[in-house]
Amino acid sequence: MDAHNADLTHEDLAVLREDLHEQRRFRQEQLQQLQATPPGEPGHHAASQTEVHAKLAASARMVLTDVEQALERMDEGCYGSCQRCGRPVSLARLLIVPQARYCGCCQQAGGAGR
C-alpha cells in the first residue's frame, strides 16, 4: 500500500507537514514538562495523581510516535493512503488528524487501531 495520495497537492502536503512538525514540538515539550514535574505531593490523592500523570505521559508518547510515523510516510511518499485498504485518506480528515493512518471507512469499521 505505498501508492501516494494523488489527491494531495504540494501545498496540501506543506501545510500538513507543518502541522505535524508543530504537533511533534508540542508533544516533545509536553513530555519534558511531565518529566520535570513530579506527579503530586504524598498524601490522600497521590496515587490518583501519579496514575493521571503516567497516563498523560503515555498518551503524549503515543501521539508523538504517530506523528513521527506520519512524517516518515510523507518522506517515503505513501502519506495520505489508508494503511488498511490503500484508498486515499480525505484531505478534510488529514487536516483534522494529520497523523491519520486510515481512511474514514476503515477507521469506522473498527479494528484499525488508533
Domain assignments of the chain as residue spans, ordered by start: 10-35+50-111
Q: How far apart are CA 108 and CA 112, in angstroms?
A: 8
Domain 10-35+50-111 in CATH: superfamily? DksA, coiled-coil domain (1.20.120.910)
Long-range contacts of range 84-90, CB-CB < 8 Å, 24 or more positions apart?
84/1, 84/112, 85/1, 86/1, 86/3, 88/5, 88/6, 88/7, 88/8, 89/5, 90/7
Q: Minimal CA–CA distance to 13: which of 101, 87, 103, 78?
A: 78
42-91 residue pLDDT tens: 555 677 788 888 899 999 999 999 999 999 999 999 999 999 999 999 99
5-23 residue pLDDT tens: 658 999 999 999 999 999 9
Chain centroid to CA 14: how far?
17
Structure pTM?
0.81
